[in-house]
């Protein structure tokens, strides 16, 4: 078998594999597929839409802030819903904040900044011409490390940072929506949020998977404690159990009401659907709207694709000096073919990793 043949075979296998892998994701996750078909940048758009169905989040909102906005699906929802319904859509102001840049959206102003910086809060207010925001949303989540206690902690810190900047920009009576992980110390976060909002509900949109611990806190009627002065220089620390009488055990733990959101007739995010949803419409694969922007593993994947990752040196030695010359001279071609063959599975697995990562991103 010639090297060319080997390489061309590898290419064919790869393209088929990609197609299969992609449609398989479409089957497993109906909202992923719908998001692509409806032009949302990520499936999480449906989560905000379903939260709005339940809580009427967008009613009368003129100024909205989307924290940790990239890739921008929630900003997309804000843009379509707020500007679409208002008579004079020019009045509506939407600000999207993220460390990363993202593709522009109509009516959405991007601020590339850190939500823990006072300057970012000032910039938001400046954009609203000194007026506070009516609604602050945050769908940010850290890259999970796999160690659940660490992930939960980081997510809690992200939420508290979002809460902190929200206290700078939200009008009294305003609404704050953020992602929360329902884990070990979630009750501590609830008690912290209860200090600032009179209504705190844990909501789970139907588009968020049953198997995921993700949920959203919808915090209504911003009413900070009397005399509270927003302060960015000291981070809001988590509450701890003894300080706030929020018991580790027993009935004194603060658990906020739970509400499942979204119409029951909506698609079930846990169900696997056939590709042919509608008999009259043929299934066609839709590529993702927006691939992940500069993921951390980009360089590593590039190296891996080109077989440039460092590897342990081969332990093979020639068996006696007499044979070594022969071995070296005769072996060139087959070694190249072998290297090409060896590279093949890695190419695929690298693809897969990227796609998996894209999946995470999209979720």
Q: Taking CB under 8 A as the criterion, which residues in 35-94 touch other proteins?
A: none
Residue 74 among known ligand-binding residues: yes
Interaction between residue 299 and other proteins (CB under 8 A): yes
**Interface stretch with other proteins, choices 45-53, 69-77, 144-152, 193-201 (CB under 8 A):** 144-152
Decide if 156 contacts 185 (C-beta within 8 A).
Answer: yes
CA dihedral (299, 300, 306, 311) in degrees, to 10, reads 140
Interaction between residue 206 and other proteins (CB under 8 A): yes
**DSSP string over 170-219:** EEEEEEEEEEEE-STTHHHHHHHHHHHEEEEEEEEETTS-TTS-EEEEEE
Q: How far is CA 62 from CA 46, 107, 221, 354, in A?
A: 21, 12, 16, 38
Number of shown-chain residues binding other proteins (CB under 8 A): 100
Asked about 179 being catalytic, the answer comes back as yes
Q: Closer CB to other proteins, residue 75 or residue 269?
A: 269
Interaction between residue 280 and other proteins (CB under 8 A): no
- Whole-angstrom distance, CA of residue 346 vs CA of residue 3: 17
Q: Closer CB to other proteins, residue 142 or residue 199?
A: 142
Please tell me which residue in 25, 179, 281, 311 is annotated as part of the active site. 179
Show the tokens assigned to 256.
Answer: 């906020």
In this chain, which of 18, 86, 244, 270 binds other proteins, going by CB under 8 A? 270
What's the min distance (Å) between Cβ of 227 and other proteins? 20
- Whole-angstrom distance, CA of residue 119 vs CA of residue 232: 10
- Whole-angstrom distance, CA of residue 24 vs CA of residue 44: 19
What's the min distance (Å) between Cβ of 352 and other proteins? 12
Show the tokens assigned to 42.
Answer: 């990520």
Residue 320 among known ligand-binding residues: no
Residue 139 among known ligand-binding residues: yes
Backbone torsions φ then ψ of 349, nearest 5 degrees: -65, -30
Q: Closer CB to other proteins, residue 44 or residue 187?
A: 187
Q: Closer CB to other proteins, residue 20 or residue 103?
A: 20
Residue ranges in 226-245 that form contacts with other proteins under rule CB under 8 A = 233-235, 237-238, 240, 242
In this chain, which of 101, 103, 275, 352 binds other proteins, going by CB under 8 A? 275
- Whole-angstrom distance, CA of residue 340 vs CA of residue 351: 17
Residue ranges in 301-340 that form contacts with other proteins under rule CB under 8 A = 303-304, 308-320, 323-324, 326-327, 330-331, 334-335, 338
Peptide bond into 71 cis (omega under 30): yes
Residue 114 among known ligand-binding residues: yes
Catalytic positions = 179
């Amino acid at each position: 078998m010639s090297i060319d043949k080997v390489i061309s075979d590898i290419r064919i296998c790869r393209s088929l594999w990609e197609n299969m892998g992609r449609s398989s994701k479409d089957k497993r996750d109906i909202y992923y597929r719908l998001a692509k078909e409806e032009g949302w940048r990520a499936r999480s758009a449906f989560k905000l839409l379903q939260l709005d169905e339940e809580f009427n989040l967008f009613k009368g909102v003129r100024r909205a802030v989307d924290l940790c906005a990239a890739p921008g699906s929630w900003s997309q929802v804000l843009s379509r819903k707020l500007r679409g319904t208002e008579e004079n859509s020019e009045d509506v102001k939407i600000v999207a904040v993220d460390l990363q840049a993202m593709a522009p959206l109509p009516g959405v102003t991007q601020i590339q900044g850190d939500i823990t910086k006072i300057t970012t809060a000032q910039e938001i207010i400046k954009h609203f011409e000194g007026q506070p925001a009516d609604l602050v949303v945050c769908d940010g989540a850290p890259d999970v490390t796999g160690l659940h206690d660490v992930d939960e902690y980081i997510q809690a810190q992200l939420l508290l940072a979002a809460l902190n900047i929200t206290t700078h920009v939200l009008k009294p009576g305003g609404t704050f929506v953020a992602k929360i992980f329902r884990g070990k110390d979630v009750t501590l976060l609830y008690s912290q949020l209860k200090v600032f909002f009179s209504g705190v509900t844990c909501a789970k949109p139907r588009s968020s998977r049953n198997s995921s611990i993700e949920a959203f806190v919808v915090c209504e009627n911003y009413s900070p404690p009397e005399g509270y002065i927003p302060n960015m220089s000291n981070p809001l620390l988590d509450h701890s159990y003894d300080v706030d009488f929020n018991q580790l055990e027993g009935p004194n733990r603060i658990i906020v009401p739970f509400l499942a959101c979204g119409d029951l007739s909506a698609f079930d995010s846990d169900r696997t659907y056939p590709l042919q949803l509608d008999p009259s419409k043929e299934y066609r694969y839709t590529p993702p709207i927006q691939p992940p922007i500069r993921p951390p593993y980009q360089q590593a994947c590039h190296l891996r694709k080109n077989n440039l990752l460092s590897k342990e040196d081969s332990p093979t030695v020639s068996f006696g000096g007499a044979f070594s010359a022969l071995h070296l001279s005769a072996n060139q071609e087959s070694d190249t073919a072998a290297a090409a063959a060896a590279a093949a599975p890695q190419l695929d697995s690298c693809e897969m990793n990227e796609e998996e990562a894209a999946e995470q991103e999209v979720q």
